[in-house]
Amino acid sequence: MPNEPLLTQLTQLNEGFALRQKRANAVQAVFKLVTNSQAKALKALREYAEHDTTVDVHGAQEAFARVRVKEDAIDPLAPDLRREIKTLAALVAALKDSTNALRTEPVDVVRLDKALTVLQTSQEAAILDVVPELKSELDLAQRALGDEFGQKLRAALAEIGVSIGGRPPKFEIGRFELDANFARRAAVLRYGKDVVAPHVSITVEATVKAYQAAVKAIQGRKVDGAEWMAQLHDAYQSVRRKREIGGSRVNIVDVYVELVILRQGRSFAVEPSKRTFSDYSRAQFIYDFYEFTSRQRLAHQGQIVRVHASTKSQADSPAKSMWIVEGDSPYDGHFYSDMQFEKE
C-alpha cells in the first residue's frame, strides 16, 4: 500500500513550492513589464517631441531618463531571481514525480530515483527532511523488484544447470556477481570484483546471455598451461628489468600489463591499433593466474609462483592489486599486490 503520510507531506510541499514559484514568476513578469513600459514611454515622448507641439515634454523626458529602476533594482536581482525560478521549477517537478511514482503499482523506481536525485541536492530543510524516507521507499521498491527478478532468473538458470545465490540487488552466479540497479534499468556483471559486462539490461534473457558470454570468454578458453607460465615468467622478468627491481617481488598488475604486451602478434608491432590489438582482460588473467599458479601449481624451469597479500591501501587501488577468485563464489578470494618466482 502507498505510504499515505509521506504522500500527504509531498503534496503539501509541492503546493508550497509551487506557490513560491508562481510568486517568483510574477516578480519576473513585473520586472519585464516595468522595463518595457519605461522604454515605451521614452520612445513615445521622443516621437512626440520631434513634431511641432504646444506641450513641452522636455522635462518629462529628462525625468524618465533619470529613473534607474532597471539598473538599480531589476538588474541586481535578475540573476538570483532566474536561478530561484529554475531551482523551484526543478523541485516542483521532482516532488510531483515522487508522488506519482509512489502511487503507481508497483512503485515506478526509475521515476522515483530521478526525482530523488534532484531532491537530495536541495538546500531546503523541508525537502531534506523527506529525503531519508523517500530513499527508504526506493530501497523497499527495488527489493521487491529484486525478489521477483531473482525468482525468474533462478528458474531460467536452473534450466541450464546453474544455481544462483545472494540477495537482491546483488546475486551470486558461480564466480560471478550480478549487481542489479532497477532504478537505472541495468546491471553490472563482475568476475570477482572485476567488471566483465558494465551494462546488462535487467531482463532474464539479457542476464542469462551476458552470463553465458562471460563464462565462455573467461572460463571456456583453451590455454596451454606450460606456455602461459613461460609468458608469465617473461613478463615478470621484463618488469624487473624495466623498473630495475633488485629483489624478487614484483607488482602483479605491472606483470599483467607487461604480459598483455608480450601476447600481441606481429601485426600489432607493425601497426599498433585497436584493430590489431589482441585483448586479454583482467578477468581472463585472474582466472588463468589462479588456475595455473595455485590450483594446478605449475612450475616453470623449477620455479613456482608465490603471491603476497595486499595492504588495505593497496587493496583500495586496482592499479596496485588484484582480487583473485579462489573458490566457487565471487567473494571467495583475496587481494594480492606482489608476486615472485621461487624454487620449488
Are residues 185 and 140 located together in one domain of the fold? yes
Domain boundary among 184, 216, 248: 216
Q: Report d(CA 281, CA 255) in Å as an integer.
A: 13
Q: Assess whether pLDDT exceeds 90 at residue 44.
A: no
237: exposed, middle or buried (Cβ count in 10 Å: 0-12, 13-18, 19+): middle
Task: Using alpha carbons, select from 336, 244, 225, 340 the residue that is nearest to residue 288.
Answer: 225
Residue 201's alpha-carbon distances to 194, 205, 210, 282, in angstroms, are 18, 9, 9, 23
Contact between 23 and 105 under an 8 Å Cβ cutoff? The reply is: no
Across the chain, mean pLDDT equals: 92
Both 265 and 288 in one domain: the answer is yes
| Residue found under cell 628489468 | 241
Whole-angstrom CA distances from 87 to 79, 81, 94, 101 are 12, 10, 11, 21
Tens digits of per-residue pLDDT, 267-293? 888 888 888 899 999 999 999 999 999
Predicted pLDDT at 94: 96
Residues whose CB falls within 8 Å of the CB of residue 178, separated by 6 or more in sequence, listed in order? 166, 170, 171, 172, 187, 188, 189, 190, 200, 207, 211
Nearest-angstrom CA–CA distance, 71 and 140: 53
Closest of 291, 286, 289, 267 to residue 278, by C-alpha: 267
Domain that holds residue 154: 104-114+122-216
What gap in Å lies between CA 254 and CA 236, rounded to an integer? 8
Burial class (CB in 10 A: 0-12, 13-18, 19+), 165: middle
pLDDT (tens digit per residue) in 221-248: 999 999 999 999 999 999 999 999 999 9
323 and 236 in one domain? yes
- Which of 70, 102, 134 is the endpoint of a domain? 102
Do 333 and 257 share a structural domain?
yes
Residue 329 has pLDDT above 80, yes or no: yes
Q: Are residues 299 and 309 in the same domain?
A: yes
Q: Residue 94 in contact with residue 118, Cβ under 8 Å?
A: yes
Q: For residues 229 and 336, state if they share a domain.
A: yes
Side chain identity, residue 86: K
321 contacts: CB under 8 Å, gap ≥ 6: 252, 253, 310, 314, 315, 335, 336, 337
Are 244 and 209 part of one and the same domain?
no
| Residue 123, burial from CB neighbour count under 10 angstroms (0-12, 13-18, 19+) | exposed
pLDDT at 66: 77
Shared domain check, 109 and 93 = no
- What is the pTM (predicted TM-score) of this model? 0.76
Number of domains making up the chain: 3
* Pair (67, 128) in one structural domain: no
Q: With bands split at pLDDT 50, 70 and 90, how would you rate the model's confidence at 52?
A: low
Q: Average of pLDDT values for 175-194?
A: 95
Same domain, 81 and 17: yes
Could you write out the DSSP letters of every residue in 235-262? Answer: HHHHHHHHTT--SS-EEHHHHHHHHHHH
DSSP string of 204-235, one letter each residue: HHHHHHHHHHHHHHHTS----HHHHHHHHHHH
Task: Work out the number of other CB atoms within 10 angstroms of the CB of residue 104.
Answer: 13
**Confidence category of residue 32, pLDDT binned at 50, 70, 90:** confident
Same domain, yes or no, for 250 and 160? no
Within this chain, do residues 179 and 264 fall inside the same structural domain, yes or no? no
Torsion of CA 34, 35, 37, 38, to 10 degrees: 110
